[in-house]
Amino acid sequence: MKMDLNYLKKLIKMLDTSNLAEMEIEEEGTKIRLSKPRPKITTGYPVPTTMTIDNTQSQSNSKPEVKEAVEVKVEAPNENHVEIKSPMVGTYYMAPSPDAEAYVQVGSVVKEGSVLCIIEAMKLMNEIESEYNGKILKILVENGTAVEYDQPLFLLEKA
């Protein structure tokens, strides 16, 4: 099969403008595999220890005092606010496809069982559903980013 150059250019443009990292197409026995470099993933986790210097110590003891930082879990602002967390490790997508409308936005009213997003794990698309009726107050992750198990995805105000 002779490859149509315009068709190949369209495929490259689709991959380039999407959140996909790679694409594989097979037609009439010809297989095309396109991929682009994956973005560097960084976690936004705080460093668990800090170093503080106690200036009230005498000059004879010149070693700084090192104290462990206490990690405090910030609770939701009130009892009607709940974090919707990722049930798995994967890639977060806010819509079923790059050109589709997002499942939810800030201010969206959702019902129990409403699809909130998709998490791709091992090439499987997993729909994440709301466990509550309520309103989306905040979306805590960006589209196409890697998420960890139990990472907060949304802040929801229960109805």
Mean pLDDT of 131-139: 94
User: Can you list the domains of the chain with their CATH numbers?
Assistant: 5-35 (no CATH), 81-158 (2.40.50.100)
Is 86 a residue whose pLDDT tops 90?
yes
What does the pLDDT average to over 121-137?
92
Instruction: State pLDDT tens for residues 16-67.
Output: 777 777 777 777 777 777 777 655 444 444 444 444 445 454 455 555 454 4
> Which pLDDT does position 35 carry in this prediction?
76
In angstroms, rounded to a whole number, what is the distance separating the alpha carbons of residues 101 and 16? 19
63 contact partners, CB below 8 Å, separation of at least 6 = none
E strand segments, 1-104: 22-27, 30-35, 81-85, 90-93
8 Å CB contact between 25 and 31: yes
